[in-house]
Amino acid sequence: MYSRFFISLLLVLLFSFGVLAQQNQRNQEKEQLIWDELAATSPGAVEDFKAATIAMDAGNYAEAVRLYEIVYKKAPEFDHGLRRLGTSLALQGNLESGLGFLEQAVDKRRSAENLFSLAQFLSFPADGKSGTREQKWRAYSLLLEAEPLSKMNDQGEYDAMLAELAIELDQTDIFRRATEKLKANHPELMQTHYYSAVLAAFDEKWVTAENEIKKAESMGLPHAAAQEFLDSGVQTRARVWRYSGYGLILVAIWILGLVVLFLLGKLMSRKTLRSIEDADPNAVTSNSDLSLRKWYRMLINIGGVYYYLSIPFVIFLVVGFAACVTYAAFAAGHVPIKLVIILCVGAVVTVYKMIRSLFIKIDQEDPGRSLSYEEAQGLWDLARKIAETVDTRPVDEIRVTPGTDLAVYESGSRREKAKDEARRILILGIGVLNDFQVSGFRAVLAHEYGHFSHRDTAGGDVALRVNSDMMKFAHAMILSRQNVWWNIAFQFLRIYHFIFRRISHGATRLQEVLADRVAAAKFGAQAFEEGLRHVIRKSAEFKFVASREINESANAKRALQNLYELSVTANPDLEEAAEQILNRKTTEDDTHPSPNDRFRFTRKIVSQSEPPISGMVWDLFNDRAALTLEMTSTIQSRVSGAA
């Protein structure tokens, strides 16, 4: 059982245990008791006994034999003399005679010393030699008999010898018991650490086995024996376990980092809500708002970097999980081939897709098409006027889309955005323009300009990049059918997207509230509320009429009618959908506060720098019909392409 660990060591240590007692300094108090016992029966033999013991301890076995034989003639029943005479004869090389005297000593008294000495020369008769298996079994039984007995000078040799024999005879429980006693009573012995290493290896405690064998080597174990023990597989397994332990510690720290990110996101969300509620609404940006924006920007950057730092940990867990399941299957003796193949292939595919998602570049196209000044002079002039009112640079481009989008962004390099030299673009979905009054429209547009003035559009690259990479990875996982519950990478993606969404959405909610203040302060809270309500209702209406017309035209196999000229009949479901949007509660997953919360915040703003204005937004365009037909044609092309 243990033989693979200690065969090379036997040739070195085989006899060292047997002479351990002779190498240790004798206990003079115990020796005095022996002398007193001899003096009681043969006083004249005491000095010869003392001289013989000195000679034996000095390695002068011939002299020791001569003197112990004198003692034997004077005191033939004295078992201590018989034992030491037998030991000296065996060490001198006269094993047969030595064993005879040792047998006599055991017959006279079955003391621990007599039993041990006989067991010693039965199992290890000479340096580099080993007894027969039968002799070792008898020696083993003698040592078990001696184990509970009182010992004159036990310095670990009893348990060391018992451990050695238990190894050879595959007596696991006794070997464990002897080793544990050595560890408890004799940690100073090299043999203790050697056997502890063997026991640890048997228990598959590889790191402990490696540490113990190195400790034994530092205390005198030959390097060759220690190295053979390590080369038997202990060192490799210990290295795997050690680095796995380091890895698990790092994983625990990494998981703690995820928890901290989540808690910081929650904390920032609460602080933002409290700041919004407590801030002076007539101050467009307070010191608290600026501080929150700064901390949010830092937290988003940290969260973005943490995603990329997480990738090696996820790869480690994916590969480690597959490896552990495979190893457990082999260790159990039953290998579910299909399961192992699924896990291994899944791990390889997952790691490949995760790394590949970082390098896939998706070309981003600007939405819609650019609207020239000649097509809508009034709109362009209004946009520039609003920029002047908000005190920021006007948009460089207006792009019209067939939907209901209304947003702004900047196009350019990071350096251009940082220096406020990037191209400013307004996205205008013409689906919201019907019945849109200029007073409400310019307030909504002022809100968008508020993002420019607060430099919201100049940052966010980290958040956009991280979200893009997560979406690419999620898409790849779905296509490769790795979006399963047991896939650690997929679960990580879900968790991290949840955490990062909470952080980044909290920041955007703050940005929206601050931009609302700009709109309400410049054009009035009422105009802003009217404009936002209009956008929400028209978005719901356009989605409804466009879907209805697309379905009807497909069924009738005809071209679409002008979607922007279709009448909207009273529809309870449509009204309910709009009301639900307006009255919903703000959640931590929202990028914008709920409309009613936004109205509640802006109604507190009493200032208004610009007077009301009349007119309809469509009046700002030169050819409404041409533009709506063009956008309808665009939708028609998309529908036909999808079909």
Mind listing the pLDDT tens digit for each residue in 612-640? 888 999 999 999 999 999 999 999 988 88
Confidence bin at 6 (pLDDT 50/70/90): very low
Question: Environment class of residue 485 by beta-carbon count within 10 Å: exposed (0-12), middle (13-18) or buried (19+)?
Answer: exposed
Give the DSSP letter string of 169-180: TT-HHHHHHHHH
Provide the angle, in degrees to the nearest 10, between the axes of the packed helices 79-92 and 61-74: 150
Q: Which CA distances in Å does 329 have to 212, 315, 334, 340, 493?
A: 30, 21, 6, 8, 28
Q: What pLDDT shows up at residue 573?
A: 73
d(CA 538, CA 536): 6
- What is the average pLDDT across 390-414? 91
pLDDT, residue 459, reads 62
pLDDT band at 22 (very low <50, low <70, confident <90, very high): very low
70-122 pLDDT tens trace: 999 999 999 999 999 999 999 998 999 999 999 999 999 999 999 999 999 99
pLDDT at position 4 is: 44
Q: Which residue has the higher pLDDT, 311 or 332?
A: 311
pLDDT at 284: 62
Who has greater pLDDT, 464 or 300? 300
Task: Encode pLDDT of 425-449 as tens digits.
Answer: 999 999 999 999 999 999 999 999 9
Which residues sit opposite 489 in a β-bridge? none
Count of beta carbons in the 10 Å neighbourhood of residue 360: 13
**Tokens representing residue 195 in the block:** 């056997």
User: What pLDDT was estimated at residue 512?
Assistant: 87
Averaged pLDDT of the chain: 86
Query: What is the per-residue pLDDT across 188-244, written as a single tens digit (0 to 9) for each?
Result: 999 999 999 999 998 989 999 999 999 999 998 899 889 999 988 899 888 888 888
pLDDT of residue 2: 47
What is the CATH topology of the domain spanning 3-238? 1.25.40
CB-based contact 316:251 (threshold 8 Å): yes
Confidence of residue 13 (pLDDT cuts 50, 70, 90): very low
- pLDDT at position 17 over 50: no
| Whether 564 contacts 431, CB under 8 Å | yes
CB 626: neighbour CB atoms within 10 A? 11
> What per-residue confidence (pLDDT) applies to 14?
39
φ/ψ of residue 427, rounded to 5: -100, 125
**Cα Rg for the chain, rounded, in angstroms?**
45
User: What are the helix (H) ranges across 485-618?
Assistant: 488-523, 525-556, 572-583, 595-602
Q: What is the mean pLDDT of residues 136-165?
A: 89
Q: Which of 366, 437, 369 is nearest to 631 (CA)?
A: 369
Using the predicted structure, report yes or no on whether residue 483 has a pLDDT greater than 60.
yes
Predicted confidence (pLDDT) at residue 308 exceeds the cutoff of 50: yes
pLDDT at 102: 94
pLDDT for the residue 12: 39
**Where exactly are the structural domains of the chain?**
3-238, 369-459+504-642
pLDDT band at 246 (very low <50, low <70, confident <90, very high): confident
Spatial distance between the Cα atoms of 575 and 581, rounded to a whole number of angstroms: 10
Per-residue confidence (pLDDT) for residue 618, from 0 to 100: 96
> According to the model, what pLDDT value does residue 40 have?
92
Please tell me the least confidently modeled range out of 297-306, 371-380, 414-423, 603-612.
603-612
Would residue 333 be called left, alpha or beta, if left means φ above 0 and alpha means ψ between -120 and 50 degrees? left
Cross-sheet strand order for the sheet of 369-371: 369-371, 397-401, 423-429, 406-411
Q: Taking the model in full, what pTM does it have?
A: 0.67
Residue 349 has pLDDT above 60, yes or no: yes
Indicate whether 564 pLDDT > 80. Answer: yes
For 166-200, what is each residue's pLDDT tens digit?
988 999 999 999 999 999 999 999 999 999 999 99
